[in-house]
Chains A and B, each alone.
Chain A
Amino acid sequence: MTDLSNQQAASNAALEKNRMARQDGEWIDRNQPLHFVFEGKTYSGFVGDTISSAIAASGNLFMGRSFKYHRPRGILSMSNHDINTMMQDDQDPTIRADVVLAQNGMQLRTVNTFGGLKSDRGRYMNCLSRFLPAGFYYKTFHTPKWLFPMWEKMFRTLTGLGKVNFETPRRYTAKRYAFADVLVIGSGPSGLSAALAAAKAGAQVVVVDENVRPGGSLTYDYGGMDESPALLGRLLSEVTACEKIEIWAGTLAAGYYSDNWIALVDDQRMTKMRAKTVVVASGSYEQPCVFRNNDLPGVMMASAAQRLLRRYAVRVGRNFVVLTSNSAGYRAALDMVSGGASVAAIVDMRPEGELSHWHELAAGLGIRILAGHCIYEAIPEPGRYGVSAAVVKRLSSAGEIEQAGGVTFSCDAILMAVGYAPAANLLYQAGTKMRYSHEIEQFVPDLLPESIFACGRVNGVYTLSSRLLDGERAGLEAAQKAGYVVEQKRVDVPAEPSGPTHPYPIISHPKGMNFVDFDEDLHLRDFYVSVQEAFDNIELMKRFTTVGMGPSQGKHSNMNAIRILARLKGKNIDEIGTTTARPFFHPVKLSHLAGKGFTPERLTPMHHRHQELGAVFMDAGNWKRPEYYQIEGLSRIEAIRQEVRSVRTNVGMIDVGTLGKIEIFGPDAVLFIERMYTGLFAKQAVGTTRYALGLDETGVVIDDGVVGRLAQEHFFVTTTTTGSAQIYREMNRWALLWKMNVGIVNATGYMAAMNLAGPKSRAVLAPHCNIDVSDASVPYLALRTCEIGGVSARIMRVGFVGELGYEIHVPSEKGAYVWDLLMQEGQKYGIQPFGVEAQRILRLEKGHIIVSQDTDGLTNPFDAACGWAVKMNKPFFIGQRSLKIAQATERKQVLAGFALAENYRGELPKESHLLIEAGDIAGRITSITDSEALGRVIGLCFVRPDLNEIGRMVQFRLSDGALVPAQIVATPFYDPDGMRQKV
């Protein structure tokens, strides 16, 4: 755009009907005009306008339809609670028009209409409203049952707001961490005052405010004078001059979590703030008055009209009626007059009216003031899209409406200034106990958590000078709590003379449509119905009526609902209580919450070798392990079988670096191991290994491995892959508890390990090992330190795959070198690397259990048929005392070997298929494999003890119900005498 057309557009935007001349302190940039489309119509505005303010500038206040009755609605608060002006574009289904900034080129629609804003077919719902009280759907739409799907479909269509676009591109938002001595939430007069006080005491302060500019009520509540902007200017220049204060505007404190962890959300990201102390200066929500047609476009909070006037230079009407119960209403009236509008009347619900100077100021302008009156109803303009008049009636001294008489004032806007509810959501989340103050008719903090402070309106302080003092007090207290020395200056905050909040701003009307909850379209009668139906507790009432369950989460409806319930039940507000305020304070976009997945992976030093060899990897805890190695032309099963075959006939090698490896040293090492494991180790000779079974205190099997004795006081212990971190941790705790003189080192990460197995394994190892590896020199179960290819190594003769084999441990940086060396030597003998699946088959053929596959969280060693590994006559081991009890108890199930018939060719049963005996469950399969070495299908199963006889026939049930016969057999299945591993 050229400068000229820019100027042209700017003057067009300025010509909007309700846009006024430049205001001091306005938030819009008149040099940057913009245009956007809402419901097919083009609107003009300026950068800095919200969508609502730009639309309102054109003179249109009808911006949406209500949720249930599809009534015309418009601006209510201009502070992120305007649910009825929620809009959508192609990407975002929940654009809150009152706070989202307008952008050039936006294409916006309403969220809740059928056929557009004006011609919404849903508007006929309004005529049906008397048949649709709260709870109607609970009662009406469940019978007859066969019709329910139809009702459901109807409701799915009718309910809900924006439409989600599933094509919306992914957006990654980074997270940020931040720290502060004092976090101040809210940058109004009390918040800024708190920040300055804390910073002067030396604290690092961060101030957040959800508005795009700081200042809170000082940015709009002028009362027709320039005191507020002048004060704000002073405060902000002090804050700007202070290096210890940062102000983050446009940042929402969305939730409070333990130990002062606060989620701060802005347009771009979530910041995880950890603050030493928190000052909540979050202010209050102006509350609506309940009267007939209080939802018409043009009826709004007084503060909404003030915001529009001061921030966006938008005047929402020409002729106002102000309904009030406090001085803020008078100030709003003065603001409207200073904006060039007229005020037909100030309707003050208090019998005595306003007693301060604000009364004289208003009266001095010739505004008619009616004390002791209320608005009985608002009269819509003919199209029902706005207000044409307010019907005002007298209130008796008891607060009853006097039906006779009344005055009707023509007007095009009605402002409500009948009081506030504290924005105490974060205080509640932090665990603050609140009490209801009858002096100011508001919940105020009663007992604050020790590092949380509250000031200003949320603390029940409304007089401007007092809010500054209250902020100073809170700021000093917070700095002191954060560890800064505060000269003991006591700040006295005067008691509030009276509160701005009306105790019962609720006017009944026989024709209803006096709304309590604008999100959920609840009018007063719905609350009567709820109590009649005995849903007369606040939590039950919430669920029956759905009050406070809409997108604004009751910020403008909960307090009135509590007042109505209290009155209907004849109780005090304190007795009614409040519902729970949970995070988030406002809705937070999922893109801000979602993070990239972070799953750490562990790779062994030989990982790249496995990749080169065509390994298919599987997860084992955090580790990646080769499941098998792909061989061209062979299926998975065939490849695995070939790996098994090569171990049984020639030689194979598997990477076992993922095993937990723990070194235990010291004078108490042997005693410690005796206590940790079920076996006997005291007399274990140096240079040997023993099987080790570990239990928890209940006697359940949690780990198995090998204990090798390197020296009298030096052991090398292996654990299961997935158990290593936990076993190491527990070992340390027991050593501490038993006060043992042992050193425990987790070697899992710095040792690589491989298992070279098969009849030819000795021939592969011998040429590269600096010691004699013959059976005489390194017999079965021996442990030796040696060198392999010049690398210092530990070798263990283990036989868990049932062949001659050496488990070789070397420093991890030498792992690949030793692996390569042995693979190369093995070429002569047809060596093949093998994976976890082949290992599982080899182990199963030997009948070895896998802890946590063949055992579960209740399996003790007797159940698992490893009683042989348990030495009950030792003085102590973990789980021993529990086993004594278990030993005396009848077994419910035991682990046994089974085999299918040699000629079985049907579908293979799987792990967890049930063993069925006489129609009852009597066990389950824990491991099964088709063993080539044995020529039949074998496996392990849990079985009822009375069925555990060698040779007994049992049957397993397949998923389709077919029964497969099997025979209980002895284990090991393969080489029962273990001759092959002892050569």
Chain B
Amino acid sequence: MKLLTCPINGTRPLQEFTWGGEFREMPDPEQATDEEWADYVFNRSGAPGVKKEWWHHTASGVWFIAERDTERDIVLRTYLYTGKMSDD
């Protein structure tokens, strides 16, 4: 069982968390073509590598972002979503 670090509650076992899918930027619905929109809604990259994902600490209701390297099966970092698309 993996461990995951919630930015509010600290490191907890994975069973306390819910995966929320890949973090994606929604294209402007007014501007996006049908193809761009369909790409946003349906297409996900399954290629191994660093993924930016939503995770939810179920017990406390905290949503946060985890950057996870699926190739090495490690979590690089976790942080609260601040609204900026790039948190670097």
Residues of chain A at the chain B interface (Cβ within 8 Å): 257-259, 261, 274, 431, 697-698, 729, 732-733, 736-737, 739, 876, 880-882, 885
A661 to chain B, nearest CB (A): 16
Is B83 in contact with chain A by the CB < 8 A criterion? yes
Contact present for A882 and B2 (CB under 8 Å): no
The complex places the Cα of A736 from the Cα of B81 at a distance, in Å, of 8
Which listed residue, A733, A876, A882, touches B63 by the CB 8 Å rule?
A733
The complex places the Cα of A885 from the Cα of B56 at a distance, in Å, of 31
Is B1 in contact with chain A by the CB < 8 A criterion? yes
Contact present for B83 and A739 (CB under 8 Å): yes
B62 to chain A, nearest CB (A): 9
Query: Residues of B contacting A880 with CB < 8 Å?
Result: 29
In this complex, which of A258, A259, A261, A739 has the most chain B Cβ atoms within 10 angstroms of its Cβ?
A: A259
Contact present for B37 and A881 (CB under 8 Å): yes
Is B46 in contact with chain A by the CB < 8 A criterion? no
| Size bracket of the B interface | 20 to 34
A885-B34 in contact given A732-B61, A732-B63 (Cβ < 8 Å):
yes
Residues of chain B at the chain A interface (Cβ within 8 Å): 1-3, 18, 20, 29, 32, 34, 37-38, 41-42, 54, 56, 58, 61, 63, 73, 81, 83
Contact present for A736 and B63 (CB under 8 Å): yes
Contact present for B63 and A881 (CB under 8 Å): no
A562 to chain B, nearest CB (A): 27
The majority secondary structure among interface residues of chain B is: mixed
Closest chain B residue, CB of each to CB of A257: B1
Closest chain A residue, CB of each to CB of B2: A258
In this complex, which of B41, B54, B56 has the most chain A Cβ atoms within 10 angstroms of its Cβ?
A: B41
The complex places the Cα of A732 from the Cα of B41 at a distance, in Å, of 20
Closest chain B residue, CB of each to CB of A261: B1
Closest chain A residue, CB of each to CB of B81: A736
The complex places the Cα of A880 from the Cα of B3 at a distance, in Å, of 37
Query: Residues of B contacting A261 with CB < 8 Å?
Result: 1-2
A733-B29 in contact given A258-B1, A258-B2, A882-B41 (Cβ < 8 Å):
no
Contact present for A733 and B37 (CB under 8 Å): no
Contact present for A698 and B56 (CB under 8 Å): no
A371 to chain B, nearest CB (A): 48
B56 to chain A, nearest CB (A): 6
The complex places the Cα of A732 from the Cα of B20 at a distance, in Å, of 12
In this complex, which of B34, B58, B63 has the most chain A Cβ atoms within 10 angstroms of its Cβ?
A: B63
Contact present for B32 and A881 (CB under 8 Å): yes
The complex places the Cα of A920 from the Cα of B42 at a distance, in Å, of 30
Contact present for A697 and B56 (CB under 8 Å): no
The complex places the Cα of A697 from the Cα of B20 at a distance, in Å, of 14
Query: Residues of B contacting A258 with CB < 8 Å?
Result: 1-3, 73
Contact present for A881 and B61 (CB under 8 Å): no
Query: Residues of A contacting B83 with CB < 8 Å?
Result: 739
Closest chain A residue, CB of each to CB of B61: A732
The complex places the Cα of A274 from the Cα of B32 at a distance, in Å, of 48
Contact present for A733 and B42 (CB under 8 Å): no
The complex places the Cα of A274 from the Cα of B41 at a distance, in Å, of 39
The complex places the Cα of A925 from the Cα of B59 at a distance, in Å, of 39
Which listed residue, B34, B38, B54, touches A733 by the CB 8 Å rule?
B54
A669 to chain B, nearest CB (A): 18
The complex places the Cα of A431 from the Cα of B73 at a distance, in Å, of 10
A199 to chain B, nearest CB (A): 24
Query: Residues of A contacting B1 with CB < 8 Å?
Result: 257-259, 261
Contact present for A882 and B54 (CB under 8 Å): no
Query: Residues of A contacting B29 with CB < 8 Å?
Result: 876, 880-881
The complex places the Cα of A729 from the Cα of B60 at a distance, in Å, of 11
Contact present for A259 and B81 (CB under 8 Å): no
Query: Residues of A contacting B61 with CB < 8 Å?
Result: 729, 732
The complex places the Cα of A733 from the Cα of B34 at a distance, in Å, of 25
The complex places the Cα of A274 from the Cα of B13 at a distance, in Å, of 10
